[in-house]
Amino acid sequence: MRKAITLSVLLSFFSVLALPVQAAMVGTEEIVQNAQMIDERAKLNEFLQREDVKVQFENMGVASQDIEQRVAALTDQEVIQLNQQMETLPAGEGIVGLAVFLFVVFIITDALGATDLFDFVDPIR
């Protein structure tokens, strides 16, 4: 009798834990926006893989692994802003300016506590 009661209590307990599942339609706009953001991030990563850009970051003391982590931590809006700035630069020029801009963005993300790359930047939280 004890086994039957224990089994019924366990079964009723597990049936209460079942969470309802909700499905919804995914709109075309959301799918297109996600695809565009994937393209934007790929474009930024491709730029940051260039040797001249890597050299500039290494001169500033930033390792290539840290750059990848930082790009992953950027918001969608920051990625779009960086890509727009890259498009306005003349070909072959402004790499130092963009590298400095990225450096400043990385310092800001350190200050906000999103990352911890630089020892000299303390989070504001």
What is the spatial distance between Cα 77 and Cα 36, in angstroms, rounded to a whole number? 12
Quick check: 79 and 44 in contact, CB under 8 A?
yes
Q: Are 82 and 94 in contact (CB under 8 A)?
A: no
pLDDT above 90 coverage of the chain, percent: 0
The CA distance from 6 to 125, in Å, is: 49
125: pLDDT strictly greater than 80? no
What are the pLDDT digits (tens) for 62-100? 777 777 787 788 888 888 888 887 777 665 555 666 777
Q: Does the pLDDT value for residue 103 go beyond 60?
A: yes
Instruction: State if pTM tops 0.85.
Output: no
* Domain boundaries defined on the chain: 25-112
Structure tokens at 62: 């930033």
Residue 95 near residue 72 (C-beta atoms within 8 A):
no
Q: 42-81 in b/e burial notation, b at 16+ Cβ within 10 A?
A: eebeebbeeeebbebbeeeebeeebbeebbebbeeebbbe
Who wins on pLDDT, 12 or 8? 8
